[in-house]
Structure 1
Amino acid sequence: MKYINLALRWLFFALIIKPIVKIVIGLRYQNQPILPQDGPALLIANHNSHLDTMVLISLLPLKILHKVQPVAAADYFLKNKFMAWFTLNIIGILPIERQGKDKTVNPIEQCAKALDSGKILIFFPEGSRGEPEKMTDLKYGVVKLAERCPKVPLYPIYMHGLGKTLPKGDALFVPFFCDVVFSEPMTYENSQESFYGEVKKRFANMQDSVKLPKWD
Structure 2
Amino acid sequence: MTLLRRFAANIVGHAIAMFARFVTAVRPDWRGIAPVPHQRVYYANHVSNGDMPMIWSCLPPAMRRTVRPVAAADYWLKNRLRAFVGPEVFNCVLVDRRPEARAAGEDPMAAILRALEEGSSLIIFPEGNRNMTDDPLLPFKAGLYNIGKAFPDVDLVPTWIDNVNEIMPKGEVIPLPLICTVTFGAPVHVAPDEDKDAFLTRASDALLGLAPEVRT
Q: Distance in 2 between matches of 1:34 and 1:87?
A: 27
Q: List gaps (5 residues or longer) in structure 1.
A: 212-216
Shift in alpha-carbon separation, 1:30–1:92, aligned structure 2, 3 A: closer
- Aligned residues of 1:39 and 1:119 also touching (Cα < 8 A): no
1:161 and 2:143 correspond:
no
Paired amino acid for 1:116: E
Q: Distance in 2 between matches of 1:18 and 1:52?
A: 13
For residues 1-216 of structure 1, the aligned pairs below 5 Å read 1-14=1-14, 16-29=15-28, 32=31, 34-35=33-34, 37-101=36-100, 102=102, 103-131=104-132, 134-190=136-192, 191=194, 192-208=196-212
Q: Distance in 2 between matches of 1:88 and 1:173?
A: 23
- Aligned residues of 1:40 and 1:117 also touching (Cα < 8 A): no
Shift in alpha-carbon separation, 1:66–1:46, aligned structure 2, 3 A: same
Identity of aligned residues (%): 26
- Aligned residues of 2:41 and 2:154 also touching (Cα < 8 A): yes
CA RMSD of aligned residues (A): 2.4
1:146 CA drift (Å): 1.6
Shift in alpha-carbon separation, 1:29–1:113, aligned structure 2, 3 A: closer
Shift in alpha-carbon separation, 1:22–1:10, aligned structure 2, 3 A: same
1:189 CA drift (Å): 1.5
1:72 partner SS: strand
1:70 CA drift (Å): 0.8
Paired amino acid for 2:52: T
- Aligned residues of 1:131 and 1:163 also touching (Cα < 8 A): no
CA deviation map 1:46-83 (0-9, x unaligned): 01112111111111121232222111111121123332
Q: List gaps (5 residues or longer) in structure 2.
A: none
Q: Distance in 1 between matches of 2:133 and 2:20?
A: 18
1:6 CA drift (Å): 3.4
CA deviation map 1:103-157 (0-9, x unaligned): 4221222111101101111100111212288422222221122212222111111
- Aligned residues of 1:27 and 1:179 also touching (Cα < 8 A): yes
1:164 partner SS: helix
TM-score by length of 1: 0.85
2:65 partner SS: helix
- Aligned residues of 1:132 and 1:167 also touching (Cα < 8 A): no
Q: Distance in 2 between matches of 1:58 and 1:28?
A: 10
Paired amino acid for 1:87: G
Shift in alpha-carbon separation, 1:60–1:29, aligned structure 2, 3 A: closer
- Aligned residues of 2:41 and 2:121 also touching (Cα < 8 A): yes
CA deviation map 1:164-210 (0-9, x unaligned): 11123322321111133221112221322221121011022112566
1:71 partner SS: strand
